[in-house]
Structure 1
Amino acid sequence: MRNILLAAMALPLIIGCQSKDREETLNTDYSHLKLATAKQSPLVQSNDSSRFTELVKNGMRLQLNNSHLVQTLTSAEVASSQYSNNNLHEAGVDEIDRVQYDGQHLFVAGLPFHGPDPDTGKTIRILETAPAQANAREIGALKLSSSTSQLSGMYLLENADQQTDKLVAIAGTLVYAPFHILPFSGGIWHNGSTDVEIFDVANINAPKSEWNITIEGAMLESRRIGDTLYLVTHSMPVIDGLTSFATTEEQKIANERLIRDAHIADLLPHYQIKGGPKQPLVSANDCFVPRDLETDEGFANVVTISVIDLRNQRIAETLCLNAPISGLYASQSHLYLGGTDYGDGQNTVLHKFRMSANQISYAATGVLPGTMGWTDPGYRMSEHEGNLRIVTSKFGENNTRVHILYVLKQDPGSNTLSVLSTLPNSEHPEPIGKPGEDIFAVRFFAERAYIVSFEQIDPLYVIDLSDPANPLIAGELEIPGVSTYLHPINDDYLLSIGWQRENNAAGTRVKVELFDIANIANPASITSVLLGEHHSYSDAQYDHRGINLMQVGSNTLRFTIPAVIMDKPSANDSGYIYSQSSLHLFEIVGIDQAGASLQTRGEMVVDQPTTDRHWPLAGYLDRSRMHSDTVYYVYGNDVWSAYWQAPEAVGGPF
């Protein structure tokens, strides 16, 4: 391996080798090394493994030198059957969730720390539902093979007869990196491992584990398309014996020798099938690095995309990249990974990968000014007819926020994502957002985009993308409060979940609102509903899986959202106390015609304060499913039920 440290930049230390007949020179001054940022050049496959090796090892040297090291990540589909499914960002691209339902059985992944059983977070409950009676009963449970992992969620697979026959559980363990390794964060969870376990549930009364794989590295994201799982993990190389607080020359020399002598194959992630021997997940030659990588840069975080054939239970393909990643979006044909370049200003670097038939391959890279913000980056991106639409934000003149919508295209034979159009532009210079406003919600739907910005009021922008080369702001509406989740129902109606603050109160109330967008030049609010008093909140405000939707006939959409409701002890009291945890039922009637209305249908109250407890038992990762006229509410690890027409008559817990 070629020398990667510049001896002229530091005074070398002369030490004795194990052989007394010779000496070697080791450089332990890493001051000239720098953290590799997201590069603005296309990725190239690291056919020269030494190039990749030096990037990873320099990253480890920076880790010891207390430099910044780890950067991690941070659904317009409506069910029309008699039972509801998951709320997805992209139709046909399934997302992991802790609750799955196939119309007969409800599968619930346990949350740790809920209940006396220490294995709660390793267990999936199986409940047989009886929607005609608004009832359910537990008929079994699945337990992870791993004794150390905690469930992240699961997927269901259907056979040719569209019957559920496999359950794919994803779980993981995490290892903590203390602040002295990552001083900018005060410590961060990373590394650990990710477990994928496939259970045969064709005979629901005798489910069994068929296959499991353990992959080194923590899961960033996953997506399922058909019988293929795309699993994105990241890992940090570990070398036993490294001294984190090296202060003496001897300790620094020992560290450098360990890094120098480490083989790159030992620093990359491995996997095990059914607890068998460890096998390399990727090789250095499988990994992609930025084309304009400099020799004094380092980045130890290895991001791996594993393509798993769930039906044949095998790793079909893997791909690795050594570049900062801070966001993910997947269409049915492409996976996009984004990172932020903090060099000259702030730029978003996007890497595009093709997905097809248990395969993945690198396609292109694009660079845009700005970042993808603090909300879920996936919602700022959308692929439509081969083009990628994306919204970024940056600070412009006078340190004010500037928001830009880009339409990107990949030219044939090119590995570059080029800009087809932007908004604002010379023809349409109107800004997205008022001065100082940040973006709180973005949603693309066919040839439109909906963007909500906020500082004092909530402007909703309707953007016309019918001509991808000439986008424009078609309409705008200013309303109180802010939307944090947008759900297009069709071309005429838009649903939003968010919050509203009243009278300069310290907290906010949960807000549900329906918009008429039939005339995109003149969007209008139809109705809004406020839940609870200030400091009330809902999972659905920031997690699209918290809202569940089901279309009934051609003109009615039912949906449910959970909420932790706060109330005032008395009218004159300035404080707020916990009142209840409940699932709130809504209907939008008339979605197939003009004049639709948003109507409340009651609430399922499943938890209230007691004499000794003044806080909710759960209230996070709540989920719900609907089946005909029955609603199932998963609160913590318990399941409750009620008829749609009588939500106050709650049955359970099951």
Structure 2
Amino acid sequence: MKTLIRTAVTAAALATVTAACTSSTGGTAPPPKTNLGAVRLVAYDSCDDLLSGLREHAAQNVTAYGFGNIMPFAAIEDSRSALPQAKSMVDTPEHSTTNVHEAGVDEPDLVKTDGNRVITVTDGTLRIIDTATRKITGSLKLSEGDQRVVAPADLLVSGDRALVLFRDGDIMFKSSVPRGDTRYVVVDLAGQPKVLSTIKPRGTYVDARMVGSTVRLITRSQPDIMFPQPMDNFSETEQLKANQAAVRQAPAGAWLPEIEITDASGTVRKDAVKCERVSHPADYTGTSLLTVHTIDLAQGVTAAGTDPISLAADGDIVYGTGTSLYVASNPRWWLPIRPIDDTPSSVTTPSSGTAAPAEEPTPTDPTVSLEPSPSTTVSAPPEPSPRPTPTIPPEETEIHRFDIASPGPPAYVASGKVPGRLLNQYSLSEYEGHLRVATTLNSQDGRSSSSTVHVLRTDTLAKAGEVGGLGEGERIYSVRFIGPVGYCVTFKQVDPLYTLDLRDPAAPKVTGELKITGYSAYLHPGAEGRLIGIGQEASEEGRTLGTQVSLFDVSDPASPRRLSQLFQKDSGSGAEWDPHAFLYWPKTGLSVIPLTQQTESGALVLKIDDAGVTKLGMIKHPTQRQENEYTYQPGIERSMVIGNAIWTVSYEGIQVNDATTLAEQAWIPTR
């Protein structure tokens, strides 16, 4: 019996067709459009134009199993005057902040500090800790009803306002597991914390960036369309035609993202993105929409709501500067879609080889078998109808740029494509009117790969230049762009660290190469002429051996060399794949990374100076005992410098240690 997982549509969504075409998001004019020729982003002229375009493009891209090519899943008053004044900067101790990609562009993280307070959310409860008394001074439960939050939330903080970001998968009910709970909660931190507003968009949370007090939030949504339930002996061709018919009959409300805003009094206001505030690139599928919400934490949520604008595109990687916001969509790891039935699966994904790290920054390439598995029944089954050989789409990364230099909603600027896939946001970097993009391109058979740095013009995202041939047969493990210089690490058995001269956008070039065992999964600028690498040491055969911290001398781009290496056998660090977990305090060279070993977990404290990397010690959180008498040591996820102390954060609590002696000073449980 075949089973189809379907995208559901509610009666309310069907009823919003007319309202969605005429609804207002607060009277703000649509964002300006820039004439960019063939790559420009085009706004729909009307709801009829939007509906016609989305229906036809989505119908061309729907499959017999729904949308997607991996899984068939397819008013609050301005209260600025009431804000209490923040403490004087004179009273604020020196402190570190979230390790971010671009200075002045804050990124959501599970803990924030302004030096006077530490704010975190655990199990759905926001807590404020005073750094002077080292005590919890305020708490606020943010979970709803019988929900239990089992994962930490992301935070952004500006003054006495916090934005708590709950993403899909954070919420679990006692009785069932929903698809997700995307919520953005604005909290007043002055005195006892309180909720000012709750925003529930349709879609899943992708990421956010904050410049000043203005937050840009990106969500992603699929059309909310009911596909017909397949019947026995229903062929894929017939099911595809039925799904296409459902798409072509779907109302505009199936695509237009809805927003529900609840103010402090409990009053609920519902809205939807207007048709004329939805744009599309020249080439699009109609199967997903990106929506950018704007919230100024200094003002809270005003009559304009979140001032949303949408783009008929997909995206999963966000990179931002002070004036630009980029959303990129990696090619999906392609697998042929099959209905769920009683026959053996024809898709096999073997485990990765020993050359792969214990925890990959990106998935390993799956091996796809396109031949059906032989039948295991005793009697000969009927001859199956032949299946067409699936066409594997080329690996291309789509990139969309928004101008965020002005207040209010961002303006669409340009859209472009580059071959290959990104590793993460550090694969993108804007510099002097150009965007540098580092990608790895795999061959169609998955047996070879090569990496390239593309240079695009920021006004059109058209190609200005490129340098390729990096790491033949390997893939990118880390990238860092620092001004006109780029650093790229590829890996399979050895770690070539490439240095790149990007001063001439039309003619970027490789200037140096360093081959060492292992790899760096994260690169961080150190003192002048120095580069810090966090990753794994490996054998000559590429087998990973444990965490390594490297200090590179890159003062001569033609001859990079490793000055120092610290190796921790049989260990791993979350800083390899999550840069927010890395702390580097340039004033003293203090550095802290999470470390997990076979017998213990904690935070490795280092000193990194011009000469080398020195281990200072380990910070460990108190052993915890569960109800079944099982004991475990909490893994440390974040660390901060506040005054003369190191603050470390785990799921169980926050510990304070002296920054010089590492002596424990305080333990603050947060559960």
In the superposition, the TM-score normalised over structure 2's length comes to 0.72
**Is 1:211 aligned to residue 259 of structure 2?**
no
Partner of 1:31: none
State the shift of 1:495 in Å. 0.5
Contact 1:481 1:500 in 2 (8 A): yes
**Is 1:334 aligned to residue 369 of structure 2?**
no
Partner of 2:30: none
Letter in 2 for 1:551: P
Partner of 2:453: 405
Equivalent of residue 141 in structure 1, options 116, 139, 142 = 139
CA distance in 1 between partners of 2:65 and 2:170 (Å): 18
**Is 1:529 aligned to residue 566 of structure 2?**
yes
State the shift of 1:310 in Å. 2.1
**Superposed, which structure 2 residues align to 1:299-310 within 5 Å?**
299-310=286-297
CA distance in 2 between partners of 1:175 and 1:86 (Å): 22
CA distance in 1 between partners of 2:419 and 2:622 (Å): 47
**Superposed, which structure 2 residues align to 1:19-168 within 5 Å?**
41-54=39-52, 56-57=54-55, 59=58, 65-69=64-68, 82-110=94-122, 120=123, 122-130=124-132, 136-144=134-142, 146-147=144-145, 148=147, 150=149, 152-158=153-159, 165-168=160-163
CA distance in 2 between partners of 1:526 and 1:588 (Å): 11
Stretch of structure 1 that moved more, 96-105 or 462-471: 462-471
CA distance in 1 between partners of 2:244 and 2:480 (Å): 49
Equivalent of residue 619 in structure 1, options 619, 630, 635 = 635
State the shift of 1:587 in Å. 1.4
**Is 1:285 aligned to residue 271 of structure 2?**
no
Letter in 2 for 1:346: E
Partner of 1:446: 483
Partner of 1:30: none
Contact 1:348 1:370 in 2 (8 A): yes
CA distance in 1 between partners of 2:498 and 2:464 (Å): 21
CA distance in 2 between partners of 1:636 and 1:449 (Å): 36
**Is 1:348 aligned to residue 397 of structure 2?**
yes
Equivalent of residue 463 in structure 2, options 419, 441, 445 = 419
Task: Name the CA shift for 1:385/1:505 in 2 (closer, same or farther; >3 Å).
Answer: closer
Equivalent of residue 580 in structure 1, options 600, 622, 637 = 600
Contact 1:465 1:471 in 2 (8 A): yes
Partner of 1:265: 253
Contact 1:328 1:338 in 2 (8 A): yes
* SS at structure 2 position matched to 1:540: helix
Partner of 1:186: none
> Structure 1: any 5+ residue segments left out of the alignment?
1-39, 73-79, 111-119, 159-164, 177-188, 425-430, 567-578, 591-595
Equivalent of residue 234 in structure 1, options 220, 240, 247 = 220
Contact 1:329 1:337 in 2 (8 A): yes
State the shift of 1:88 in Å. 0.5
CA distance in 2 between partners of 1:341 and 1:610 (Å): 44
CA distance in 2 between partners of 1:64 and 1:472 (Å): 43
CA distance in 1 between partners of 2:315 and 2:229 (Å): 25
Partner of 2:184: 196
> Structure 2: any 5+ residue segments left out of the alignment?
1-37, 72-91, 172-176, 333-391
State the shift of 1:523 in Å. 1.4
Cα deviation, 1:157-194, whole Å, max 9, x if unaligned, reads 12xxxxxx112211245599xxxxxxxxxxxx997442
Equivalent of residue 617 in structure 2, options 596, 602, 606 = 602
Letter in 1 for 2:648: Y
Letter in 2 for 1:229: V
Partner of 2:586: 551
Letter in 2 for 1:324: D
In the superposition, the TM-score normalised over structure 1's length comes to 0.74
Contact 1:605 1:648 in 2 (8 A): no
What count of residue pairs does the alignment treat as equivalent? 533
* SS at structure 2 position matched to 1:379: helix
Partner of 2:353: none
Letter in 1 for 2:401: K
Contact 2:549 2:567 in 1 (8 A): yes
Partner of 1:220: 206
**Superposed, which structure 2 residues align to 1:560-571 within 5 Å?**
560-566=592-598
CA distance in 2 between partners of 1:175 and 1:261 (Å): 34
Sequence identity percentage = 27
